[in-house]
Structure 1
Amino acid sequence: MTAIKHALQRDIFTPNDERLLGIVNVCKAGKKKKNCFLCATVTTERPVQVKVVKVKKSDKGDFYKRQLTWELRDLTEVDAKDASKENPEFDLHFEKVYRWVASSTAEKNSFISCIWKLNQRYLRKKVEFVNVSSQLLEESVPSGESQSVAGGDEDALDDYQELSTREEQDIESMMEMCEYAVSNAEAFAEKLFKELQVLDGANIQSIMASEKQVNILMQLLDEALTEVDTIEGKLSSYEEMLQSVKEQMDQISQSNRLIQISNTNNGKLLNEIQFIVNYMDLSKGQIRALQEGDLTSPKGIEACINASEALLQCMNVALRPGHEKLMAVKQQQQLFVDLRDTFARRLTNHLNNLFVHQGYDQSSTLSQHQTELVLPKHSPLHRDLLRYAKLMDWLKNTHREKYDGLSRTYVDYMSRLYEREIKDFFEIAKIKMAGTSKEAKGKFATLPRKESALKQETESLHGSSGKLTGSTSSLNKLTVQGSNSRRSQSSSLLDMGNMSASDLDVADRTKFDKIFEQVLSELEPLCLAEQDFLSKFFKLQQHMTTSSALHSCTQKDMVRHMMNKIFQSIETELNSLIALGDKIDSFHSLYMLVKMSHHVWTAENVDPASFLSTTLGNVLVTVKRNFDKCISGQIRQMEEVKISKKSKVGILSFVTGFEEFAELAETIFRNAERRGDLDKAYVKLIRATFCFASQHFFEGVEARVAQGIREEEVSYQLAFNKQELRKVIKEYPGKEVKKGLDNLYKKVDKHLCEEESLLQVVWHSMQDEFIRQYKHFEDLIGRCYPGSGITMEFTIQDMLEYFSSIAQSH
């Protein structure tokens, strides 16, 4: 136990300026045995504080640690259970009763004795000791192990003292003088004993010789003892006085602690009150602005904005635990709800009236633009409404149903207004567009059909259809007849081939181009301005964090939905205008494709998913379809052309027409985004032009077979006998074919854009088509002229060499 006591003093109490005076090994009564130590300690600094400390070994068992500490002044009773019998149990009564079982009765008695002494010396309020023998309380603790455990009086010193340096030196000198001090300790000890007897005798003689001095010394010692008794008496009285002062100081300290706790509580209460007042209070001016603030003047609107933002902050403040139970807080929250509802109702009614009145006011200005191809501007309306953008944002956060209702009201009124404006605007555009076609209708009228030529064509195709060499000497234009179907009023390569360039009303087409561009140029800023207003006024495109990307996407969808509602007539009107332009002149589709593509490209650069981009993209599909239909119509008219037997050798009208078409198309598509569509159209037109000439005779053969004549009997037809077949083949020797192909290559190269790869694609397509026709003609000759031995004057290999050499020479 002594070792444990020293360890506890060193490791636990010395660092805390405490001295360990008593210790007992205990465990709790009635529970599983878990040993710990109860220690009685005093502080080394004054005023002395006496404590009872519970010390326990750590879970790992390698060191001790404090577990509980009690002030001795809080101890009210010590119960030893039995004063006459040995019993290791005892109770300590602090704020509650702690029941202990000591490892031995001796340790228990030593610890209780130590507590009694500390109580007698340091505490005015005495502890009550129950079932403790009076002998244990009055007598000192016996010497030996019990005294060691109890710790004794705190002023007791250990019996062991270390040797001083002087004493060590004297012992060493004595041992050096005696050679056998180490080897014969008994002889050395006997020698020392004899020397000690000599010294004792000398001392006695010296004392007896100085008896007078001893008497004087004794007298002085008696006087000193008397003085010590006097001082002890005074010290006792001082100690009693200090004990009283200590108790008073303890009371003052306790009072100070209570005052400090009270001040802390008052400070916390003040902070709570300040929090509620600062974050849950509106000024009278703000309340007045919400209840009756002017929503028409800039100053009044600004006051309402500030008040509404302050109200929102008050309503969204994060209350601390317990605030919601305060009656004042509940009343203030109800006030905020009432103010919110009142202001939301006032704001909604005011903005509803603004939407209605502004819509009617704007309608009254439509008459100013009835003859101009200009859409009314809504910037004044947007400017007036944007003053309320912050209030709309407030309404969105506080009354979503009212915000949604206002959104629907705005879309409803503005869709009606825009529908009237856009309808009138497109009516003017159609009137102006129709005015450009009055003269064109006469110029592009259907050419008269000659019955004699038609009759000759139906009877036979006797005679040569002319060399396809492209020679320009002594060539006359063929008389071109229309098909049985009704010709449309639109332009065609056939019409262009029969009309001089001066006959084409280029000015009309240019005017149409300007009208169409004006329409798109007016629609584009109108849609962009409205979309920008919707985003700002209804707060649908605010900057969002990375985690709110989905919310931002939803807001864009809302803008697109509102734009679709407001401008639902634009796509229909545009398609109607495009249909009119295409009806007037199918070549208008070239202008519309270029213009529409450019505006789609511009809109996609601004916002690929915007209403404008989507709408123009949809309309562009219609324009592209009309362009493809225009090219297909030209090809179909080529295929339906019939050549009269009286016609002489010459250049087909649509070949010359293609050249003029290319010049017109190149002017329109210069630097256009959709240049690739024109180049693809060139491939189709050139292929159709090339195939027409070589198919004409054999189409007559196929027509006879289609009428029911057997294939082997076709050669007996006058117009399609073997002699006529030889004449046709003779007109296409290899030399002339190559020359014609060379001229055709030059025309293709002239009108295609400056891209070598495109020219190669077109030339390769023409080669494939030519070979396909060659094989078709050979097969037709074999079936309709069996055994005649008639073949083309050039082979497929010859054709491949022609195409290759022409491409390499250029």
Structure 2
Amino acid sequence: MAKSSADDDELRRACAAAMDGTKQDIVLSIRVAKSRGIWGKSGKLGRGHMAKPRVLAISKKVEGQRTLAFLRVLKYSSGGVLEPAKLYKLKHLSKVEVVTNDPSGCTFLLGFDTLRSQSVAPPQWTMRNVDDRNRLLICILNVCKDVSGRLPKVVGIDVVEMALWIKENTPATSKQKSILQDGPVTTAVAERDMKVTVERELVSQAEEEDMEALLGTYVLGIGEAEAFSERLKRELQALEAANVHSILENEPLIDEVLQGLESATNCVEDMDEWLGVFNLKLRHMREDIESIEIRNNKLEMQSVNNKSLIEELEKLLESLRIPSEYATCLTGGSFDEARMVQNIEACEWLANALRSLEVPQLDRSYSNMRSVREKRADLEKLRNNFVKRASEFLRNYFSSLVDFMISDKSYFSQRGQLKRPDHADLRYKCRTYARLLQHLKNLDKNCLGPLRKAYCSSLNLLLRREAREFANELRASTKASRNPTVWLDGSTGSNQSANSADTSIVSEAYAKMLTIFIPLLVDESSFFAHFMCFEVPDGNKIAPTDDDNDDDLGIMDIDENDKAGKKSADLQALNESLHDLLDGIQEDFYAVVDWAYKIDPLRCISMHGITERYISGQKADAAGFVRILLDDLETRISTQFSRFVDEACHQIERNDRNVRQVGVLSYIPRFATLATRMEHYIQGQSRNLVDQAYTKFVNIMFVTLDKIAQGDPKNADILLLENYAAFQNSLFELANVVPSLAKAYRQASKSYEEACARFISAIVYYQFERLFQFALKIEDLMYTITPEEIPFQLGLSKMDLRKVVKSSLSGVDKSIITMYKRLQKNLTSDEMLPSLWDKCKREFLEKYENFAQLIAKIYPNEPIPAVAQMREITASI
């Protein structure tokens, strides 16, 4: 047998060095393998759970009169030196379990009660053999017995097998004890300790001795069973006879006992009779007591009910009583500002009183009482009277406030002075009655309809007067010269000095109109929604605005039960009221738009951009009419601009077709000027408006140009290429930055190339018609016959070729000069001549090179001027 690691002195010394400073004595140290894997059927650790070498050391430490025992786990560092890893107290050891999945029986678990709460499974310890396992476990059990006085639960170990192992290995352990005397602490396991530990699980020493004495009394063989049985029967009969004899000897005592029992029975019967009598009397007494208690309970309940009834009646009477101070305010009090606090308190009391007489607040049994019905009718009459008086006062109050402001001319714009409308004082005075309106709504929701109409009717007069005076003065104070609306008409001549007039003051006036009145209308809408108790979200201001005065009423101050941002069912009613409040004011905005259009139609672009900025910044749900107003203004501006575009397109189509059109048409450069100015006017998001106008202009211009060209087929290509070239030259810079014009530029470039190709081909073909006509005939015949047969065709003989070459190419330099002069004669602009002449020479050389290739293939021996010679001639001209 190999030497166990428990007997390794070097291992003990290494463990002592690792535990240096702990003042603990080592009882046993042994090598083990630690793993957390699952044992499979093969008895090996599962894949991915490799065992790690560890050393288990059992140690003791004496502290005063008690001894502590520890189980230390030591691991090897990277340098092979033992170092502490874990420390367990053996007093917490609750279970020792041998893993049944390990067929070798060398793997076990140590369960500590301090580790039960942990989610990680306890480690498994694997020994080299069963002897090492038994040796370690016996040592742990003995230490637990000596230190703690108790043993942990042992699972998976046969106790008898363990006892046999102790008996077989006792000499070896005793020898080990003598060998290790020089160590710090003995690690041998005594035979006595091992025997006691294991046998205690079976029978005690005293029981064992009694059993041996009993068995020693009866030394029997197999054949003596019948004799033993007979002996036991005889002894049983003797015992029974002795018992009968003892009973007979005690007969006098039995008689005395029987007499005592008889007398006791008589006493019990007498007592039973007495108890029956007492029970009857007690039952009658209990009935009397119950009757008395029932009467007392009824009287007590009646007293409590009477008291509660009095309290309820007092509360009811208190709720039915109208305080004199509130009755005075509700029936005939004044609505002056100084009396509003008393009026508000009276409204609150009246609302609470009415609410207290309703079924949820008042018990249903009280609601049908005559006094309650009469009091409810009185309160409703009082409420109707108060609501009527308050509504009439508020209608007159709104009308008087507006009439006072309208009668004072200093509130409005005057000649030479634009006046910004100021409603701060008006709102301040209205705000005094905001809480009154809220309470009127709570008392009678139907009363708000006439009040809202009265407020809208009065304030509408003020707003329309302010807008009309402001718009009139705005137009009167704006001095701007008119620009002609005839932008693309060729009959107006080339003078465009009028178009350069600065009309930015017109769009600035329109922007000022919006800046002043749009925030005002939004604020008025929001104030009206809050003041007149509409349950709608708070209105937001429209951007851009330079007036940050927030005159909104705090609805939360009027009724704290309202929630900000709550969607309301009466939003439609609010929009209808806002229409009554602001209707008619749009006419003054329309007048400014029409006035600006008459001065400069292109200012519609600037006004459209300004309007779009206001629309994009408008978010107020309470300003529905303002949003509609802005949309209508945008539509009107777009309509006016479309009218201008239609008139300009009509001017383009109205060109005089009876007069022969030559050179660049007048509307081509005029469109470039118009586009430049339109780009200068673009603001905000009005890009789409301008791009649509560009598209319409370009389509009309190109269609009109094609119609004019069709009227003069002889000079059609010249007219087209000159106008398309002029279009490209005039819009080159704008096309680089405007995508819609870039598309038109590409369209014009394509049309220019097509017209140019047709015109150049016609010039070249006119000058060398016979030469290229001869080449065309050859190309047509090459589709049907072989090249060798062509010289024998009619009109294509070698003689015919020589005649054509002589007539077309003799004096070719003069012919090319003639072609240049013809090109120069047809063009109206000398700027295009160099580029077109270069194209003309390239066209001629390409056609001649094709002709030379045909001749070399069909008439190989016929001499014609070389292509290089032609290049030199054309280059010299």
TM bucket, shorter chain: 0.5 to 0.7
CA distance in 2, matches of 1:511, 1:760: 31
Out of 513, 525, 538, the position equivalent to 1:531 is 525
CA 1:366–1:616 in structure 2 vs 1: closer, same or farther (change >3 Å)?
farther
CA distance in 2, matches of 1:572, 1:624: 17
Tell me if structure 1 keeps the 8 A contact 2:735–2:742: no
Deviation of residue 527 (structure 1)? 1.5
CA 1:248–1:560 in structure 2 vs 1: closer, same or farther (change >3 Å)?
same
Deviation of residue 644 (structure 1)? 10
User: Per-residue displacement from partner, 1:483-537 (whole Å, max 9, x unpaired)?
Assistant: xxxxxx6666769973355x54634x12212221122222202221221122112
CA distance in 2, matches of 1:414, 1:222: 119
CA distance in 2, matches of 1:242, 1:576: 111
User: Per-residue displacement from partner, 1:638-689 (whole Å, max 9, x unpaired)?
Assistant: 3323499799x7655443333332332222104x211122123223334444
1:500-579 matches, cutoff 5 A: 501=497, 503-504=498-499, 506-507=501-502, 509-542=503-536, 552=567, 554-579=569-594
1:758 aligned onto 2:740: yes
Tell me if structure 2 keeps the 8 A contact 1:597–1:620: yes
Tell me if structure 2 keeps the 8 A contact 1:419–1:569: yes
CA distance in 1, matches of 2:372, 2:616: 59
Tell me if structure 1 keeps the 8 A contact 2:695–2:740: no
Give TM-score, length-normalised by structure 1: 0.52
Residue in 1 that maps onto 2:868: none
Out of 267, 273, 287, the position equivalent to 1:247 is 287
More deviation, 587-596/548-557: 548-557
1:632 aligned onto 2:667: no
Q: What's the secondary structure of 1:498's corresponding residue?
A: coil
Residue in 2 that maps onto 1:32: none
Residue in 2 that maps onto 1:4: none
Tell me if structure 2 keeps the 8 A contact 1:324–1:330: yes
Deviation of residue 630 (structure 1)? 1.0
State the one-letter code of the partner of 1:403.
L
More deviation, 227-236/252-261: 227-236
Tell me if structure 2 keeps the 8 A contact 1:281–1:314: no
Out of 406, 414, 421, the position equivalent to 2:451 is 406
Tell me if structure 2 keeps the 8 A contact 1:291–1:342: yes
CA 1:309–1:748 in structure 2 vs 1: closer, same or farther (change >3 Å)?
farther
CA distance in 2, matches of 1:689, 1:348: 67
1:209-224 matches, cutoff 5 A: none
Tell me if structure 2 keeps the 8 A contact 1:493–1:654: yes
Out of 330, 341, 344, the position equivalent to 1:299 is 341
Residue in 1 that maps onto 2:693: 681
Deviation of residue 285 (structure 1)? 4.0
Aligned-pair RMSD on alpha carbons? 5.4
State the one-letter code of the partner of 2:298.
L
CA distance in 1, matches of 2:617, 2:726: 41
Tell me if structure 2 keeps the 8 A contact 1:426–1:573: yes
Tell me if structure 2 keeps the 8 A contact 1:749–1:759: no
Tell me if structure 2 keeps the 8 A contact 1:290–1:339: yes
1:258 aligned onto 2:298: yes
CA distance in 1, matches of 2:389, 2:613: 47
Residue in 2 that maps onto 1:419: 464
Deviation of residue 561 (structure 1)? 1.1
CA 1:730–1:617 in structure 2 vs 1: closer, same or farther (change >3 Å)?
closer
Tell me if structure 2 keeps the 8 A contact 1:517–1:595: yes
CA distance in 2, matches of 1:317, 1:286: 24
User: Per-residue displacement from partner, 1:731-786 (whole Å, max 9, x unpaired)?
Assistant: 469xxx3x86466335434225735x535533455478879999999xxxxxxxxx
CA 1:675–1:270 in structure 2 vs 1: closer, same or farther (change >3 Å)?
farther
Deviation of residue 313 (structure 1)? 3.1
Q: What's the secondary structure of 2:744's corresponding residue?
A: helix
Q: What's the secondary structure of 1:313's corresponding residue?
A: helix
1:123-134 matches, cutoff 5 A: none
Higher relative contact order (CA 8 A, sep 6+): 1
CA distance in 1, matches of 2:623, 2:470: 26
Out of 494, 502, 506, the position equivalent to 1:498 is 494
CA 1:732–1:340 in structure 2 vs 1: closer, same or farther (change >3 Å)?
closer
Residue in 2 that maps onto 1:669: 682
CA 1:421–1:311 in structure 2 vs 1: closer, same or farther (change >3 Å)?
farther
CA distance in 1, matches of 2:689, 2:749: 21
Identity %: 17
Residue in 2 that maps onto 1:75: none
Tell me if structure 2 keeps the 8 A contact 1:289–1:307: no
Out of 348, 355, 365, the position equivalent to 1:313 is 355
State the one-letter code of the partner of 2:731.
V
Q: What's the secondary structure of 2:535's corresponding residue?
A: coil
Q: What's the secondary structure of 1:539's corresponding residue?
A: coil
**Aligned pairs, number:** 517
CA distance in 2, matches of 1:262, 1:578: 87
1:175-574 matches, cutoff 5 A: 206=252, 239=279, 242-243=282-283, 245-259=285-299, 261-262=301-302, 265=305, 269=309, 272-273=312-313, 276=316, 283-297=323-337, 298-316=340-358, 318=360, 319-369=362-412, 370-371=414-415, 372-374=417-419, 376-432=421-477, 435-437=479-481, 440=482, 444=484, 498-499=494-495, 501=497, 503-504=498-499, 506-507=501-502, 509-542=503-536, 552=567, 554-574=569-589
State the one-letter code of the partner of 1:258.
K
1:613 aligned onto 2:616: no
CA 1:555–1:767 in structure 2 vs 1: closer, same or farther (change >3 Å)?
farther
Deviation of residue 614 (structure 1)? 1.0
CA distance in 1, matches of 2:499, 2:639: 25
CA distance in 2, matches of 1:533, 1:772: 66
Q: What's the secondary structure of 1:662's corresponding residue?
A: helix
Question: Gaps spanning 5+ residues in structure 1: where?
Answer: 1-178, 445-488, 702-724, 778-788, 803-810
CA distance in 1, matches of 2:489, 2:535: 52
CA distance in 2, matches of 1:684, 1:776: 28
CA 1:354–1:314 in structure 2 vs 1: closer, same or farther (change >3 Å)?
farther
State the one-letter code of the partner of 1:424.
E
Q: What's the secondary structure of 1:641's corresponding residue?
A: coil
Deviation of residue 560 (structure 1)? 1.5
CA distance in 1, matches of 2:309, 2:650: 94
State the one-letter code of the partner of 2:608.
L
CA distance in 1, matches of 2:741, 2:443: 66
Deviation of residue 271 (structure 1)? 7.4
State the one-letter code of the partner of 2:494.
N
State the one-letter code of the partner of 1:345.
K
Deviation of residue 392 (structure 1)? 2.4
More deviation, 333-342/247-256: 247-256
State the one-letter code of the partner of 2:682.
F
State the one-letter code of the partner of 1:327.
R
State the one-letter code of the partner of 1:498.
S
State the one-letter code of the partner of 1:745.
Q
CA distance in 2, matches of 1:267, 1:593: 80
CA 1:430–1:680 in structure 2 vs 1: closer, same or farther (change >3 Å)?
same
CA distance in 1, matches of 2:709, 2:249: 171
CA 1:694–1:321 in structure 2 vs 1: closer, same or farther (change >3 Å)?
closer
Q: What's the secondary structure of 1:322's corresponding residue?
A: helix
User: Per-residue displacement from partner, 1:781-807 (whole Å, max 9, x unpaired)?
Assistant: xxxxxxxx9xx999xxxx9xx9xxxxx
Tell me if structure 2 keeps the 8 A contact 1:373–1:429: yes
Tell me if structure 2 keeps the 8 A contact 1:638–1:654: yes
